[in-house]
Structure 1
Amino acid sequence: MSKIDVFVAPRPNPALIRAMTSVNRIVMLRGIPGFRDLLPFNRLAGLRGVANVRHIDFPHTDLERLNASCGAGKATFITPNHPEFFTDWMIDKEIVSQVSPLTASWATNGVVNGLGRLMQKFWLANNLIAQIPGNSGAAKEHSVAWALKGHGVLLHPEGGVGWHANIVAPLLPGAVEMGLEALKRGRATDPDFMVWIAPVVWKLAFTRNVEAALAKECAYVEKSLKIERESTNTLPQRIHHVYSTLLARDEAVCGTPSNAGATYTERQQALFAELSRRLGKSISSDADVTDTAELLRRSRRWQRENTGDADGQKQIRKLADTIQRLQRVGSWASANPRITQEEIAEHLKRIRNDYCRGGLRDTMNRFIPQPAGPRCAHIRVPEPLGLHEHTGSIDDAVAELHRRMQETVTRTVAEIEAGGGFIFYPNPFYHR
């Protein structure tokens, strides 16, 4: 039952789901009043709130907009953005508890199936759907059938966490594809059957100045990665120095020269292009493949088809892993002249996830990353996309979904900024 790559259908337990909703709200998000701000109790994650989300800003109009697209007689696929690991499911669960408590939620097979038999039973009882890489047919079939029963299905269209809350990454088409399949089946018996893709976005903002805590975490990263701190650097400059040092190490491994006069982005792009060229050559890919996602897909296929080539497997995996790691710091990092404490926190969590792998502390951080201080979750619901009204292609629907999500994120960030909700610094990654 607990094999990591075997799909097992969820077995939702309504009583457990209701109980876990209360546990999630108190233990995982808000914490226990009277203890969460009192030493030494506020050092215990379960008393102060594991995700330390003290406040939830979820306007009634947004809640009603989501509620209107859920329920019996329709199929609903809820698609939140994915800015942060662990906190994602805690906030998602709080949202669906108010509109569709028996919503089934997609999660990586490493969580659902990879933590042992008892934990697998627990996650299945909480209605989690295990995503099996390269073999998602059973999960999609179950999702469509569950949605047709009038319960929601939640999945993150961005895929993995990127730690960039202000930017919605390119979306995967899975929710739209399952929605169209649900529409076809629903219309077979009801010509007026409706299918909704219901996007949700949320943005976390610290409720106070957390620079001291961020500096402490940055010092841990510097020590863990053996990067010498330059004492005159500001906190953002320390982050930039860490990334520049890590990039220099990648350049050295690759054997490419490091241009000291170039910006971080210019150096990153030069190394990225060289690694992509080498990967394409190694898998005998077409020389004109310029799309990174396609190149990485071909590299995964090459590994599946050449399992007997141990040296080749190692080389291809190393190239692909480095490319994926480099592209996680996107153009958004250098787009704005100012950087917030929230963005600094995201940089630190990304570095720890990608580079710090020394022991239990780093392993725990990847599964349950701890925030630098108390936060408010600003939740907003863009206009749902009715597939029963959509006349374009799947790609058109995905593009429209992305547009609605990004516009809502941008507007929400602007609202928080207008209310004085951010602390800014000069951004050392910025260049015109």
Structure 2
Amino acid sequence: MSRIDTFIGPRPNQALIGAMTTFNRVFMLKGIPLLRDLWPLRKVPPFRGLANIRHFDVPADDEARLKAVCGRGKATFIAPNHPEFFTDWMIDKEVIARVSPLAASWATHAIVNGTGPLAQRFWLANNLIAQIPGNGTPAREFSEAWALKGHAVLLHPEGSVGWHGNHVARLLPGAVEMAREALEQGRRTDSGFEAWVAPIVWKLVFLEDVEKPLMAECAYVERQLKLDPRAGRSLPERVYGIYLALLARQEERLGITANPCAAFAERQAAIIVEARRRIAEMLETEAGQDEDQLLRLARRRLREKGALSKETAKELRSLAEALARVRRVGSFAFVGRSVTQEELAEHLKRIRHDYCAGSLRDTLNRFLPQPAGPRRAYIRVPQPLAIHEFSGSVDNALEALRSRMQVALDAINVELEARGTFRRYANPFHHAQIASSAIERTG
């Protein structure tokens, strides 16, 4: 097997982890004091910090709640939300440094194993666990053994990044399943052993008006995607216009006749149905099954050498990627009458990650997406789930966790709204949907 697909257990180096915690705090998050406020250094990473997070808002009670479920006699799996790539691990590392400094963290095998032998040793020394697609058993076994020693294990329960800071997506079962398995092992020698899944949510908010840099990012995306420039339109109208153009391109590829009066959600649903039908046909399975299951099956088939012809594999990969991209804009985009600068920034990052490729700048953006301005991170710890006291199913546990996370996230937004923190605009996704409904009623 290649290095990228071979699991090697982490070899944590406490001194390196401690040094990287300080490095992360300065160069990745907050920036260099004094220099980060000087022009033009305030625009240049790492003087301003790559993730450009100036402040952390973590109530003492929340930090104490998380710390109380970590340590000897406990197997603890920390499950944060996952709204932004790169920044997630930077924030998570800051959190675990406060409560469980030798915690292990899950990461994609492309990061841990795919950047060369020297980088691999570095990541393993930082206690990163490589997630190998199609072979997760070694990572799970290491995670459970490490948790049994009293060190936390952190993994993102939502799976891939969705770029939706106000919405907690469907959770994956890994944290709950590993906590249950660790509990069973721990109870063999200690009848009082505990197992916990500790959810965390965080919300990023700009400290200043970032409309100008977001407009510049819109213009860049329009150029990269070869779209007509939309200068003169408002920021949300430009973002919405980019999405409509991408939707039209996908409709054309799939041979779908678009209704220009239909709402975005309706046109999106038609693309999802057609892509799902074609994927199911190629896999010779039922088209009505869950989209996540269908995508997992497609990816599994693509990993099997010789299972598909070159042409079929290329078409299947294209359809699976199209389905994943289109459905990433969920109902969270349509429900609000207004939209914040933070949400518009997330839309742009989602578009750039999914559709912009080919240049060094785009490649760097995929791994190190840069924010439009300095931010504050609001971090909350909902009540951890005591697996040793929970008698429900894995699905019940996931629903309980997701509910606690969403409630905590909503509470942050209510608190910030009361302070007048957000800069808001009319939401074109919502109003286009309302207009479409009105046309249908009068049609």
Q: TM-score range by the shorter chain?
A: over 0.9
Q: How far apart are the structure 2 equivalents of 1:45 and 1:197?
A: 35
User: Identity, % of aligned pairs?
Assistant: 56
Query: SS where residue 35 of structure 2 aligns?
Result: coil
Q: How does 1:37-52 map to 2 (within 5 A)?
A: 37-52=37-52
Q: How does 1:27-426 map to 2 (within 5 A)?
A: 27-287=27-287, 289-304=288-303, 307-426=307-426
Bigger shift: residues 235-244 or 36-45: 36-45
Q: CA deviation at 1:69?
A: 0.5
Q: 1:18 to 1:299 in 2, by over 3 A?
A: same
Q: CA deviation at 1:2?
A: 7.6
Conservation of the 8 A alpha-carbon contact between 1:157 and 1:174: yes
Deviations 1:267-295 (A, max 9, x none): 111111111112112221125x2411122
- For structure 2, the 5+ residue unaligned runs are 435-443
Conservation of the 8 A alpha-carbon contact between 2:12 and 2:127: yes
Q: CA deviation at 1:33?
A: 1.7
Q: How far apart are the structure 1 equivalents of 2:390 and 2:420?
A: 39
Query: SS where residue 46 of structure 1 aligns?
Result: coil
Conservation of the 8 A alpha-carbon contact between 1:2 and 1:117: no
Q: CA deviation at 1:3?
A: 0.8
RMSD (Å) for aligned C-alpha atoms: 1.3
Conservation of the 8 A alpha-carbon contact between 1:2 and 1:113: no
Conservation of the 8 A alpha-carbon contact between 1:218 and 1:348: yes
Conservation of the 8 A alpha-carbon contact between 1:264 and 1:429: yes
Bigger shift: residues 301-310 or 335-344: 301-310
- Runs of 4 or more, structure 1, over 4 Å off, are none
Q: How far apart are the structure 1 equivalents of 2:90 and 2:294?
A: 34
Deviations 1:342-365 (A, max 9, x none): 000000000000011021100000
Q: 1:214 to 1:281 in 2, by over 3 A?
A: same
Conservation of the 8 A alpha-carbon contact between 1:158 and 1:169: yes
Q: CA deviation at 1:411?
A: 1.0
Conservation of the 8 A alpha-carbon contact between 2:134 and 2:300: no
Q: How far apart are the structure 1 equivalents of 2:108 and 2:422?
A: 32
Deviations 1:215-246 (A, max 9, x none): 11111101111111233421000000001001
Conservation of the 8 A alpha-carbon contact between 2:225 and 2:356: yes
The residue identity in structure 2 corresponding to 1:104 is: A
Q: CA deviation at 1:21?
A: 0.7
The residue identity in structure 2 corresponding to 1:397 is: A
Conservation of the 8 A alpha-carbon contact between 2:79 and 2:155: yes
Query: SS where residue 8 of structure 1 aligns?
Result: coil
Conservation of the 8 A alpha-carbon contact between 2:9 and 2:124: yes
- For structure 1, the 5+ residue unaligned runs are none
Q: How far apart are the structure 1 equivalents of 2:303 and 2:116?
A: 26
Deviations 1:71-100 (A, max 9, x none): 111110000100101110110010011100
Q: CA deviation at 1:304?
A: 4.5
The residue identity in structure 2 corresponding to 1:204 is: L
Q: How far apart are the structure 2 equivalents of 1:69 and 1:424?
A: 38
Q: How far apart are the structure 2 equivalents of 1:179 and 1:44?
A: 42
The residue identity in structure 2 corresponding to 1:270 is: A
Conservation of the 8 A alpha-carbon contact between 2:35 and 2:41: yes
Q: How far apart are the structure 2 equivalents of 1:396 and 1:137?
A: 23
Q: How far apart are the structure 2 equivalents of 1:44 and 1:307?
A: 48
Instruction: Count matched residues.
Output: 431
Q: How far apart are the structure 2 equivalents of 1:384 and 1:399?
A: 13
> Structure 2 length as normaliser, TM-score?
0.95
The residue identity in structure 2 corresponding to 1:310 is: K
Q: How far apart are the structure 2 equivalents of 1:422 and 1:117?
A: 45
Q: How far apart are the structure 2 equivalents of 1:219 and 1:343?
A: 18
Aligned match of 2:10: 10
Q: How far apart are the structure 1 equivalents of 2:302 and 2:355?
A: 24
Q: How far apart are the structure 2 equivalents of 1:322 and 1:84?
A: 20
Conservation of the 8 A alpha-carbon contact between 1:218 and 1:239: yes
The residue identity in structure 1 corresponding to 2:21 is: T
Q: How far apart are the structure 2 equivalents of 1:296 and 1:270?
A: 17
